[in-house]
Amino acid sequence: MVARKSEIAQIVDRAYQETKGEVARKLKVHTSHYYSGLSRNAIQKKLNVMKKPQKLRPLFENKAPLRPIKACRVQERHQVDLVSMASMPATIDGDTYKYIMSVIDIFSRFVFLRPLQTKESSEVAENLLDIYNEHGPPEILQSDQGTEFKGVVKAICEALNVRIIKSAAYSPQTQGKDERSHRTWKEKIKFDMINCENDVNWVENLPEYQKIYNESPHRSLGFLTPFEVYFGRTSNRPRNKLFLAEKRDFEVPEENVDEANYDNPTELEEELNNLAIERDVLRKKALNASNNAARKMVKRELKRQPPSLYYKGDAVLVRIPISKKSVKGKKTSLQSSCEGRIIDADHNLHKYNIEFNDPVTSENKKAWFKVDDITSLTKEEENKRQQIAKEKIPQKRKRQAGSESNTEVDQVRGTLPKAIRKESILDASIHQVISGEKLNGDTINFYFHYLRKKYATSEVNTIGFGSTYFYPSLERGDDAYRKYIGKKSLWEYENVMIPVHLPREEHWFLLVISIINLCLYVYDSASCHVHTYKTVLDTIKNKFIRKECELLPPEESELFQESNWDEELPKCPKQMNKTDYGVFTCLFAKHLISEEASVAMTT
């Protein structure tokens, strides 16, 4: 019997039920006994639009943004790994070596290389102890899941007060900096093998490979060398080799005959201060370059494989871990998927707040998930989202050359239902207000952008407007917050208005930083716990105002120290429901920049 086109969906669904969820190839064989002309591709297309196959075998193909492993100082974090050289063993004094232990300091990229005969934990621990007795132990030692980093290695780390952590299984990118260094010094070994006529004994040359690596400039360090960052000074070796003057016999100066007079404590202290300043300058440059390289890497990976975008109200499949106790009493982690609904979205971090029913307890829960644990209800829908995400990359480049307002408009439209996204800005704004739902961050940002443009040329242009992303960016510990508050510094304004979002409380309020009054004002249409306000205000003082004070001369910086700022919660209108937090935040900002409110703020 030839299957009609209108009956294909029904035939595939019935065969899928009879075979208890078989794949397209097996369904093709199953249906061929009853129908002809039904191809595998036709069956697969019908399966792609069905929810049942996606629930049975969900494909979570999104990749969450990379989270680079960072360190802010020398000896803060090390990574250790073993490299197998079993294909070219080397022998010295009758001992055969088959492995290389590589230890890298994350901040400076300084590498320690040691040859090993075996992968035994005792031999690994012995060489680690040899390094740490000479250079001191780090705060954290990161390794992979290998058994060679357990046992004796763990005992030594506990004795040295070193916290040892394990990288994720089957994820070599978590050891990325160490893995990347392997390729560099392996190339040195390969160079000797190609260019040397005699056999290369890599064990004898290993100190030379380590020296070359540590004295080579790194792009991620601002073209400083790991030696310079680790020790805080330049190496003497290149300077001595490049000395072109006439060679003189080595002379040992007489005792107490030096160019510098270190008998004078003032000159000695000045010399030490200069060395400390030089070291701090080198390391600060390396830290900035490393942070920039990390941000570029994250952006590059997002462009190469952009994750799908989901919006508030979308129904999705979410992958959740299930803890199950086995017969032997050991806990094993299983993973299951269930259907959920997105109630909030953070597209910058690619995280989503999802409401779902727990498959084990059947309880209704809300939790934040990364995008790699989320997929669409059908394969066809997910393929469309992937295609849209890839098509948006060149569009972003075009918008950067155009007006900034287009980006703001698209951000607002992107958070609305599909039927509303193609409407005008006015229609989108009206729908957002009359829908009765809470305003999201993109909508509030759009309104603050409108206030910024409206009052840019007026008499109140001394007021700055921040973004909803400003407060979360303070937790990163770098200068990422600057792009969310404008190009000017804090001291070029009289007042700065910032909408603050509290994800756990699902709450918004307005924070005003009054520079002329040295005061932080909190305008809240509801009432939060005092500890919540204290946490937000302390973060603003310690991670924003303190950094901005570094831009001021010392005498002015003392005046604006965080301890000199007051904190106030002025009386303001209170809302009567639980959905108008964002509306009140926008209205507070508009009211405070009016003439009447300006007088109230300065009195």
Number of Cβ atoms within 10 Å of the Cβ of 77: 22
pLDDT tens digits, one per residue of 128-166: 999 999 999 999 999 888 888 888 999 999 999 999 988
Q: Give yes or no for residue 565 having a pLDDT over 50.
A: yes
pLDDT tens digits, one per residue of 485-534: 777 788 888 888 999 888 777 788 899 998 888 899 999 888 787 888 88
Determine the pLDDT at residue 108: 92
* Structure tokens, 427: 């229609």
Number of Cβ atoms within 10 Å of the Cβ of 358: 14
pLDDT tens digits, one per residue of 183-236: 888 888 888 888 887 778 899 999 999 999 999 998 889 899 999 999 998 887
Whether 113 contacts 209, CB under 8 Å: yes
Determine the pLDDT at residue 175: 61
Whether 593 contacts 601, CB under 8 Å: no
Helix (H, G, I), strand (E, B) or coil at 175: helix
- Specify the higher pLDDT residue, 429 or 530: 530
**pLDDT band at 421, cuts 50/70/90?**
very low
Nearest Cα neighbor of 521 from 449, 571, 465, 483 is 571
- Contacts with 174 (C-beta within 8 Å, 6 or more apart), sequence order: 69, 142, 167, 168
Question: Mean pLDDT across the stretch 415-421?
Answer: 42
Determine the pLDDT at residue 326: 46
Question: Mean pLDDT across the stretch 282-306?
Answer: 88
Ranges 223-232, 277-286, 398-407: which has the least confidence: 398-407
Ranges 102-106, 310-314, 414-418, 575-579: which has the least confidence: 414-418
Helix (H, G, I), strand (E, B) or coil at 301: helix
- Specify the higher pLDDT residue, 379 or 253: 379
No. of helices (H) and no. of strands (E), the chain: 21, 17
Domain borders along the chain are 5-48, 77-220, 315-383, 438-602
Query: Is 3.30.420.10 the CATH number for 77-220?
Result: yes
Largest Cα–Cα distance in the chain?
108
Q: Tell me the C-alpha distance between 73 and 472, whole Å.
A: 23
Question: Mean pLDDT across the stretch 55-70?
Answer: 84
Question: What angle separates helix 202-214 from helix 176-195, to the nearest 10 degrees?
Answer: 120
Determine the pLDDT at residue 459: 56
Question: Mean pLDDT across the stretch 377-386?
Answer: 89
Phi and psi at residue 346, to the nearest 5°: -120, 95
- Specify the higher pLDDT residue, 204 or 6: 204
Class of 438-602 per CATH?
A: alpha beta
Which residue do the tokens 């759009």 mark?
446
- Contacts with 242 (C-beta within 8 Å, 6 or more apart), sequence order: none
The mean pLDDT value of the chain amounts to: 79
Question: Mean pLDDT across the stretch 53-60?
Answer: 85
**pLDDT band at 435, cuts 50/70/90?**
low
pLDDT tens digits, one per residue of 76-129: 999 999 998 888 899 988 899 999 999 999 999 999 999 999 999 999 999 999
* Structure tokens, 19: 């075979």
- Specify the higher pLDDT residue, 167 or 79: 79
pTM, full prediction: 0.56
Q: Give yes or no for residue 572 having a pLDDT over 90.
A: no
Whether 491 contacts 515, CB under 8 Å: yes
Do the domains at 77-220 and 438-602 have one common CATH topology?
A: no
